[in-house]
Structure 1
């Protein structure tokens, strides 16, 4: 059976690549460019959680399971406890200074994630709800409720409500998400994950670390290929207060370049992952 992460986490994990470093000099940049990078880094934290969730739910659902270094790789300790509420499976995952060796990021996780799952991703009905209890990534507190629900064949609705990250410096970034993920290629080869292609549409809103209200709108559907670490296509419009920045990821090439336009000026940027 194909990993659930191929539907929900692969593209989202790559969203961490939205963070960027401009090829222009710092004094030529508008501050909104920095805020755009922070916006995508917030996405990467929630998406990192999705990768964890999908990896854990593949281990098995028949009995309690304790996973440490020798099981899936990593440092520290990760413990999963499974129970059932009628037809819904509940996985409670506790982290103690855990670093996932399979992840692209060397992030330290602590606290508890609770995962409630109904159905299977490839069945007609599927829904998964993720909540957090004193859960941190690199000391940053993650909050909110994330729901993934199947709405059509190869199509899934993703929502995040009451999303909030409290950073180690005390600043906060709130997030509400409404998105649609579509599996557009690779679903006919369930044992070959590398040919999968996804698109992502939708929006996000909230208040950033500077206290400014923002709207994050996918103007042209983002496209992800599992074989490429970068977003390969699509446009995001980020509005912060009365300023707007457009991020263009190109037309399908697998490269680390994107183009950011603000106040009529376009910067060529190199994509990077969130820390």
Structure 2
């Protein structure tokens, strides 16, 4: 996210070159910022799902993860205090809680209809005055267990009414549905060796009163629990003038990604 402005400059320079060579004046009006915003939105969604999984593991099963939320600066409470489902937890990051270089503040409201490993169960995540690295995130995530084979647990992740406001005040609306499968760590009693794969799905990101893009899983996205970032896979990007791919890399746990269009690669940092 720190390199957002430099990426936009690269886009602007490239599109200026396109205009000079092709004289397609319509390209001058292209707004590329939703491409960059989409990567930040994905980061926030993945962080929040990871948090929900951690709460489920620690608070519903009584087990501990390697890096507990309660051991950091976040406070977790349950309301109401009951042994029956549904159960609602509030994760309060206060005025700023930094873990692995990512600062969150505000609250997440996480509600479980049943154990997250139970087929048919739904985990719902709602944001309450919630910020990640200074960007405000709003909306709801529904994470429904749709497992068919116990060897490969899976969930449907649906984001509704997503609103992402960056540190410059730009607003991006977002929504979409994806299929998530757990492909490693199924038989162990820890979260740290879990690997999740986003095998299919589509979401849209639109700048308020501006450009809109649609992003579709092109190559399965890979997310390891012990890494905050998607480390592998590709998304297809489509809009009126944009037609490229976002590449998250070859499996390394880092912030790096790249957008490619017309054979030109624009690296950026989430």
**Scaled by the length of structure 2, what TM-score is found?**
0.72
1:73-222, aligned counterparts within 5 Å?
73-74=72-73, 78-83=75-80, 84=82, 87-100=85-98, 103-110=99-106, 112-152=107-147, 153=149, 154-191=153-190, 193-194=192-193, 196=195, 198-208=197-207, 211-222=210-221
Specify the alignment match of 1:29 in structure 2.
Answer: 14
Contact in 2 for aligned 1:53/1:115 (Cα 8 Å): yes
Aligned length: 244
Paired residues of 2:102 and 2:132 also in contact (CA < 8 A) = no
Query: Residue 211 of structure 1 aligns to a residue in which SS?
Result: coil
Give CA deviations for 1:188-209 in whole Å, capped at 9, x if unaligned. Answer: 3344733635344211113126
Contact 1:20–1:37 (CA<8 Å) still a contact in 2?
no
Show the counterpart of 2:41: 42
Long gaps (5+) in structure 2? 16-29, 62-67
Higher strand share: 1
Unaligned runs of 5+ in 1: 1-15, 63-68
Superposed displacement of residue 139, structure 1: 4.5
Deviation per CA, 1:116-158, whole angstroms, max 9, x where unpaired?
1022122233211112233333443322111000112311000
Q: 1:32 to 1:213 in 2, by over 3 A?
A: closer
**Given that residues 247 and 258 in structure 2 are in contact (C-alpha distance below 8 angstroms), is that contact kept between their aligned partners in structure 1?**
yes
Q: Given that residues 183 and 199 in structure 1 are in contact (C-alpha distance below 8 angstroms), is that contact kept between their aligned partners in structure 2?
A: no
- Contact 1:39/1:208 (<8 A) preserved: no
C-alpha root-mean-square deviation of aligned residues, in Å? 3.8
Larger RCO, structure (CA 8 Å, separation 6 or more): 1
